[in-house]
Amino acid sequence: MTLPPPTRRPLPGLLDTEAIRKDFPALDRVVHDGKKLVYLDNAATSQKPRQVLDTLHSYYERSNANVHRGVHVLAEEATALYEGARDKVAAFVNAPSRDEVIFTKNASESLNLVANMLGWADEPYRVDRDTEIVITEMEHHSNIVPWQLLSQRTGATLKWFGLTDDGRLDLSDIEQVITEKTKIVSFVLVSNILGTVNPVEAIVRRAQDVGALVLIDASQAAPHMALDVQALGADFVAFTGHKMVGPTGIGVLWGRQELLEDLPPFLGGGEMIETVSMHSSTYAPAPHKFEAGTPPIAQAIGLGAAVDYLSAIGMDKIAAHEHALTEYALERLREVPSLRIVGPETAVDRGAAISFTLGDIHPHDVGQVLDEQGIAVRVGHHCARPVCLRYGIPATTRASFYLYSTPAEVDALVDGLEQVRNFFG
């Protein structure tokens, strides 16, 4: 049933997935009475390697303590591990300074953090009724709703770039969308629903021309490609740990130092202060200013281990692996009758998440029948409902790959879709 098609030739640039998969215990899962798990839901969350789990375990078993405030051994160890994770993440994204890396609970908090900073900022950053906010129609809800809230609460106007029929940003009206009134442009680097990789440079250039800040949602980029915040040219970059072989409960916001100095805090509490009296308080310098309360200590340390794991394999190699696999998957999916790709149809400027519809079989049904064969995909609007509205579809089925995904899993998907068609045919 899942025999590889006879014509399959070796793909160039693949990683040694046999070795890699040994690091990921969950990939050995067997589901539905003996079916081997084919995990193609990596855009939702990734599996975790033993190396990350061991790091968590040994933190809790040996060095668990609250950070920053203690003089005892465990507190010193925990602090060194936590701050060491910040160093690792800073290096991973080529941040000019470790103090530019803020730990949050997820990418959504990172994005909300920027929206709130700007809402409470003084000039020249302040977003208010005379200003404009720019996003795009392919954003994840986590990069839409914070801006809708900010616009409702400040009176600022929310604008956005539309999409072309082939799943790319329509930048033809960039001069009208990003104007002198624009305070912030926030957009996704790699779309979680379409797979599109967006053209950063054109947007950053225009934003800089009008003096707007730029926030990049790199949630689907950080796991899959080398990320260099300096090369991107943005002011803020947000991403999330659980999609990049790290634990849940940890996200990152990178921000330019002088902005982090100037912008006001968001959450108030322990750790983020310099000195507190009942009458007033002053705040610690960044990044601590933006990390109120006991941080996700173990999770940050786990993310540090994740970043080590990915770096040891090499982000460029991971990108090449996924590119080859995506090309192969697009090719094979084209063989499936009545399958329509939602998003770019070639692997050019494209990530490893592939959304599609299958005739008029509802994605829920596609996903369920695939699941019965052990194949885990995601169905629905993928927290990007405006994209579904744009393309006039209720939802999509999405298969998404990662460094441990294999051509055989692509084949299993294609065979599985055949079964779906038979079932609902």
Partner 1 sequence: MYQDVILDHYKHPHGRGLRDGQAEVHHVNPTCGDEITLRVRMDGDVVGDISYEGQGCSISQASASVLNELLVGKDVADAQKIQETFLELMQSRGRIEPDEAMEEVLEDAVAFAGVSKYPARVKCALLSWMAWKDATAKALSTAPDPSGTTPEETA
Q: Under rule CB under 8 A, which residues in 292-331 are in contact with its own copies?
A: 292-299
CA distance 387 to 373: 29
Nearest to 199 by CA among 241, 116, 136: 136
343 binds its own copies (CB under 8 A): no
403 binds its own copies (CB under 8 A): no
Minimum CB distance to partner 1, residue 4 (Å) = 28
Pairing of strands 273-276, 132-136: unpaired
Residue 11's contacts (CB-CB under 8 Å, 6 or more residues apart) are: 324, 325, 327, 328, 407
Each residue 373-392 as x (binds its own copies by CB under 8 A) or -, in order, gives --xxxxxx-xx-xx--x---
Return the number of the residue (197 or 420) whose C-beta is nearest ligand PLP: 197
Q: What is the largest CA-CA distance in the chain?
A: 75
The option from partner 1, its own copies, ligand PLP, none interacting with 112 (CB < 5 to 8 A, set by class) reads its own copies
- Residue 398 is encoded by which pair of tokens? 């999405």
Nearest to 174 by CA among 136, 140, 211: 136
CA distance 49 to 306: 8
145 binds its own copies (CB under 8 A): yes
Contacting residue, 167, 367, 407, 416, with its own copies by CB under 8 A: 367
53 binds its own copies (CB under 8 A): yes
Each residue 84-113 as x (binds its own copies by CB under 8 A) or -, in order, gives ---------------------xxxxx-xx-
44 binds its own copies (CB under 8 A): yes
How many Cβ atoms from other residues are within 10 Å of residue 336's Cβ?
18
Minimum CB distance to partner 1, residue 393 (Å) = 9
Say if CB 135 and CB 148 are below 8 A apart: no
Which residue among 14, 267, 273, 383 is the active-site one?
383
- Interface contacts to partner 1, rule CB under 8 A: 68-71, 75-76, 79-80, 273-275, 277, 279-282, 284, 362-365, 368-369, 379-381, 385, 388, 394-395, 423-424
The option from its own copies, ligand PLP, partner 1, none interacting with 274 (CB < 5 to 8 A, set by class) reads partner 1
CA distance 190 to 203: 14
Residue 387's contacts (CB-CB under 8 Å, 6 or more residues apart) are: 137, 138, 163, 191, 193, 194, 342, 381
Measured between alpha carbons, how far is residue 22 from residues 47, 295, 365 in Å?
12, 31, 32
Return the number of the residue (297 or 369) whose C-beta is nearest ligand PLP: 297
Minimum CB distance to its own copies, residue 284 (Å) = 11
Minimum CB distance to its own copies, residue 295 (Å) = 7
First-to-last alpha carbon distance for the chain, in angstroms, is: 19
Contacting residue, 74, 80, 202, 231, with its own copies by CB under 8 A: 74
Minimum CB distance to ligand PLP, residue 207 (Å) = 19
Return the number of the residue (195 or 323) whose C-beta is nearest its own copies: 195
Q: Which helix (H) or strand (E) holds 80?
A: helix 73-92
Nearest to 345 by CA among 327, 322, 360: 327
Return the number of the residue (106 or 182) whose C-beta is nearest ligand PLP: 106
Nearest to 157 by CA among 165, 148, 144: 148
- Residue 402 is encoded by which pair of tokens? 């990662």
Say if CB 244 and CB 222 are below 8 A apart: yes
- Interface contacts to ligand PLP, rule CB under 6 A: 106-108, 140, 142-143, 188, 192, 217, 219-220, 240, 251, 270, 293-294, 383
Return the number of the residue (332 or 382) whose C-beta is nearest its own copies: 382
Contacting residue, 13, 84, 233, 249, with its own copies by CB under 8 A: 249
Active-site residue flag, 383: yes
The option from partner 1, its own copies, ligand PLP, none interacting with 299 (CB < 5 to 8 A, set by class) reads its own copies
- Residue 356 is encoded by which pair of tokens? 């599609």
Write out the catalytic residue numbers.
Answer: 383
